[in-house]
Amino acid sequence: MIAIIGGTGVESWPGLTSLETVDLQTPYGKPSGYLTRGCLGELEVIFLARHGKPHRVPPHKINYRANIWALHHLGVKDVVAIAAVGGISSNLEAGDIVVPHQIIDYTYSRAHTFFEDDLSDVVHIDFSEPYSETIRQCLINGVKAEGYHVIAQGVYGATQGPRLETAAEIERMERDGATIVGMTGMPEASLARELGMNYGTIALVVNKAAGKHIGEITMDDIRAVLKKGMNRVTLSVSRAIASLNNSQV
């Protein structure tokens, strides 16, 4: 089964039919909100709004473990995560779509693993390649099939939030190799890996990052990009997950 985790600007999924809401209590507390199980054509999909509905859970307060555990409990094997990000690389503009291939974690004080208590042995996961290449390619092809331009690689720098970054922090991240910056990529990706789920991210650049932007970064500007750009993202993801499902048959 495939799950979609909606980020900022995506609180529900267009085109889902036969909707059923699932309200779960997990060993790690409550997820961000109820999960929606429905059909996209003949494909069964579970949708979860990462920030809740309405959008009110800030990045550092998201219960990532509850969200990922709930999806796994419902039988999800593949996760497509949607993110709104800032563009660090000079070639990125607001409205660009990026499918990252790597991630750098700058977050702190987040519950970031399932493997910490009552263990018979210490568990280390291989996280060399944080994103499923199969999901990545389906996302890239989905964007192309919709006729949109896609940046097929990127390094996602995950910051703590909820504030935006300083120009100096972005300079450091750029030296580290990060090309986009967001606040929700970790520990979501590593938790999915811990439970054996395939995970990929599609990111919409909603602004140039601090120090790359002329003037102040405003939420009004970001919302304007989200309104137009997330429609392209949802169309691309719907096409991509149909392809992903077919590739597994």
pLDDT given for residue 17 in this prediction = 84
- So what's the pLDDT on residue 249? 40
For residue 4, which of 181, 230, 246 has the smallest C-alpha distance?
230
Q: What is the three-class DSSP state of 38?
A: strand
User: Taking CA 137 as the corner, what is the angle to CA 131 and CA 138, rounded to the nearest 5 degrees?
Assistant: 105
Distance (Å, rounded) from C-alpha 69 to C-alpha 84? 23
The whole-model pTM stands at 0.92
What are the beta bridge partners of residue 134? none
Q: State residue 134's pLDDT score.
A: 95
pLDDT at 246: 67
Alpha helices in 4-63 (DSSP H): none
Give the CATH class of 2-113+125-247: alpha beta
The pLDDT value given to residue 217? 82
Residue 203 pLDDT: 97
- β-bridge partners, 182: 158
DSSP type of residue 60: G
Per-residue pLDDT in tens (0 to 9) along the chain, 249 residues: 899 999 888 888 888 888 889 999 999 999 999 999 999 888 899 999 999 888 899 999 999 999 999 999 999 999 999 999 999 999 999 999 999 999 999 999 999 998 888 877 888 889 999 999 999 999 999 999 999 999 999 999 999 999 999 999 999 999 999 999 999 999 999 999 999 999 999 999 999 999 997 778 888 888 889 988 999 999 999 999 988 876 554
